[in-house]
Amino acid sequence: MIVFCHIPKTAGMAVKHVLKSNFGTRFVSSTTWGKARAMTTARDLKHELLAYPRAEVIGGHGMRPFVDYGERGRSFRWFTILRDPRARLISHYVYDLENGRAGDSFEAWLRSDVANYQVRWIAGEPDLEAARQLLDERFEVVGFQEDFRASLVLLNQIMFEDRLTLTSERPVNVTRSRETKDRIAAELEAHADLVEAATALDQALYDFARTRFWGPAVERMGAANLEDRVERAFGAPAKAGGGVRRFLYELHRNGVYKPVLWCAKALGARE
């Protein structure tokens, strides 16, 4: 099974859009029941797959490479998208600020567990070496938001044997407030040292992934060939069927998946 490790604020919504459009009810978006930074356990996954007996791809915030998924997990094929650490940090703070989750100050927020978030998401703790090792040993593709379309083309070629229909649509969580963005600029300047410390491990992981994954993948495909593939993939009109598969995905998720998980959760609470 192919597994997408969805790190918040790294274009994961756009990746999931592509997966829904191509796999429909064969794509599982693992839920964490609204709990921030929660993770999908082996038991959770067992319950989720009861609702998706034909699943081929699973993703979502809950799927973490450091979790032991037992025998099933040994055949997982992982991929993820990383983002420039400073840009991701800013996006995350603005999102939290606009949703009332940023606390009393930018400084206090920076000192919380949002620091070096991508390393924490991969390794479960701020351990750079553990994150590097997990990427190196378990991941087949690591893409980058800064090269998003090229990342999807490489992902399609390496993990999906060019079976995906890619789309020019790119729904993302967008920060809309100009006033908020201006406020952030002042905060960044006032707390430059803290920002650097809060992104140092993420930057090292990002640089490692650029060298370990991106460079070799582009070299194998050829830069000119990759550019041509991107133009052809996203320049063509969207093919029919994606909208239907997304509709069936939502229908199955709300009509089958969620009731199954609610029942499993209720029964589990009684055990």
Q: Tell me: the pLDDT tens digits for 241-268? A: 889 999 999 999 999 988 887 787 677 6
Got the DSSP string for 108-131?
HHHTTTTTTHHHHHHHSSS-HHHH
Going along the chain from its start, the domains and CATH numbers come out as: 2-270 (3.40.50)
Which pLDDT value is given to residue 269?
43
Residues 6+ apart with CB under 8 A from 186: none
| CA-closest candidate to residue 52, choices 78, 77, 85, 25 | 25
- pLDDT over 90 (residue 239): no
- Confirm whether pTM is higher than 0.95: no
Q: What Cα–Cα distance (Å) separates residue 194 from each residue in 106, 107, 112, 115?
A: 10, 8, 11, 9
Rounded mean pLDDT, 12-41: 86
Q: What Cα–Cα distance (Å) separates residue 63 from each residue in 5, 26, 30, 252, 271?
A: 6, 16, 7, 20, 24
The dihedral built from the CA positions of residue 216, 217, 222 and 227, taken in this order, carries a sign that is negative
